[in-house]
Structure 1
Amino acid sequence: EQSGPASQEARPTASALGRLLEPSLSVEQFFETVWGEAPRVFQRTNGASPLLPWDDLLGVLQRAQEPQRPAEVDLLVMSDGCPSTAYDSCHAAYLDGCSLIVNHLDKIFAPVNAVCRELRQHLPHAYVNMYLTPPESQAVAPHADDRDVLVLQVAGSKLWKVYPDPPVPLPYTREQVGKSSAYPVPQEVLDAPPLVECTLRAGDVLYMPRGFVHEACTGDAAASLHLTFAMATHDWSWAS
């Protein structure tokens, strides 16, 4: 199987990736040295403005529940790693210790949409999911994805573990381990020492190629808000 980025002609040296990762990292360098190779952490110390300020969060949650919202947008309440419908409001759920996920945030929040449009100059597709996790919590169980991702920590902090040796290299949607009882994460993967174990803080980014099993949890000090930029690489892969 082969997979690859968009054509060279579609890759300007512009800065969406640089702003997210390292200002000195060009698009060409990203695809040559980072893309598809291994998980990598980019730590930012310049205090850049958050892409989703706390002041905008309530408005985002409201728009994610409006009847006229785009069809792709979905707000999930996660209790003990599973979707829950037991609460009258997402606010009550969060105060009770649940995590909140907004899928396709880029459809309802213009600053994030603008970054996704820039990324699509280099990639066939990019979209964003938002995760709000209270202290001492884990939004989802360990799993692997069928897409490469950039995890941007917006506020608070989160401890991430990424495990070596993907159980299904370059998985397609039906092959994502940890997302259904039919495809559990092999225990030997979770028993292995993590390939990456780090705490992301505001401005930090974790790049993960498709297929790597990972998990994340908050500490006891504060909530965590992060954005996952999903680059659906399984949609533009082919066999040879």
Structure 2
Amino acid sequence: MGDGPRGIQVFQDHFVASTSGSPPSQTSSVTDLRSHSHTWARIRLKSAASMLNLFNLKGVSWRLGGNDQEKVVLSAVEVASLRSEIANLEERESHFKAQLEHIDEILRSARLSGYLFIRTRWAALPGEPLPIDDAEVDDWLPRFIVLHGSCIYLYMIATDLSPQDSTLLSDVVEVGPLPCLTREDEEIRYCFYILTRQGLRYECSSTSKMQVDSWLAALKIDCKLTSDSEDLNDPVKA
């Protein structure tokens, strides 16, 4: 003390760290802190593993590196698996893009398109008994129908790239309305049919009368058909 400038007292070794051991309470605190840190690291590791499973990255392992930092450790097999998964995702993306382009082309160029309920029946050949009345048979299936160019195309769903079936307009010999159907839930469907020269009869229905009228009008024009049939508006139980 007294080595400093006049008026200032200097205490030698005042800030030197104590050479004695840490108090028991301080040592216990440090131990608890480290234990808590490791526990928190394990919790974060489990959380990261859960997120990994969420994104379907199977087989990827997480480990703790220096300073309790998590890192992904990949083997050659795991890298190959990830590359394969990325390739599959790219392939699916290309497929979805093709579907979107296809449906966009249909909507832009088709004369008429939309979902209808469809069922098929065959006309009786000469000498065969008349078909059994199956009006109560519920075998209607939703199909995406497209009137485009010289054909009618039937798709399972709108995004299918290839039709399930098709019929040339030149093979259509008759179109006309059918009696309405009343479903068990009291829903009314408006119906019409398309008959081909091969004897195949497409029966179509929709809950929208406007949609059915549009199809009948378009088919009669494109198939160059005339019909004297009147609308059959009496609902029939189905």
Judge same fold: TM > 0.5, yes or no.
no
What is the TM-score when the length of structure 2 is the normalising length? 0.19
Greater length-normalized contact order (CA 8 Å, ≥ 6 residues apart): 1
Structure with more helix by fraction: 2
What is the TM-score when the length of structure 1 is the normalising length? 0.19
